[in-house]
Structures are given as structure tokens and as C-alpha cells.
Amino acid sequence: MIRKRALQTREKLVGKLPVTGELLRGSLLERTVRHKSGCPKCARGEGHQVHVLTVSYAGGRVRQFSVRRERVAEVRRWLENYQKLKDAIEAICEFNHDLLRPDAAVPRGRKKRD
């Protein structure tokens, strides 16, 4: 019975997977850039707000991508889709771990006595 419920729950999770090409891994950062000279805004200490997507790779390598202001909402949505997919995959894996365990209802083999 436990196995049947786990399979049903797993199937519900699979049905809710956000399967889409709009996935993005990384972190969106907001930074302030200040020019050294010649910019009145920077001279006042305000600087310029920029958005940067940072993505970490194996071996400690990090790539950074500048994101235009008009694409920030889109990038946030893609990052959220990735996180939802990752969470759903983790939940499915946990159910699969449960499915690997022997059922309590199934009698186990007896140990031999010497």
C-alpha cells in the first residue's frame, strides 16, 4: 500500500514538472558600477545599477553575463523555472528511494539458525 501511494505521488510530481526550454542556472546579481572620471552621476557617488548573471562550473570556474534591464524579469522567471524543476527532481528522487526499500507487507526471508 505504501508503494502504491508513493507511485501515485511520484506520478503527480512528474505531471507538474515545469518542462520548458526557459531554464537558467545561476544567480542574478545587482551591482553598482562607478566610472573613475568624467561621469557626473559617478562623481556624486550614485553609480550605475547593472545586473549580472553568474554561473559556477566545475573546477571553480565562474562565468558572468551582463543582463539588460529589459530582460531582468525574463531572467528571473527562467531562474525560478530551473529551481522549481530542480526541487521537483529532488522530490521524485526521494520517492524513488522509498520505492527501493522493501515493503513492510511483504514477508522477509528467514535467517538460518546454526
Location of C-alpha cell 528571473: 76
At what angle are helices 2-15 and 72-100 packed, to 10 degrees? 160
Domain layout of the chain by residue ranges: 1-100
pLDDT by 10s per residue, the chain, length 114: 567 777 787 788 777 776 678 889 999 999 988 887 788 888 888 889 999 999 999 999 999 999 999 999 999 999 999 998 898 888 888 878 877 877 655 455 555 555
The model carries a pTM of 0.71
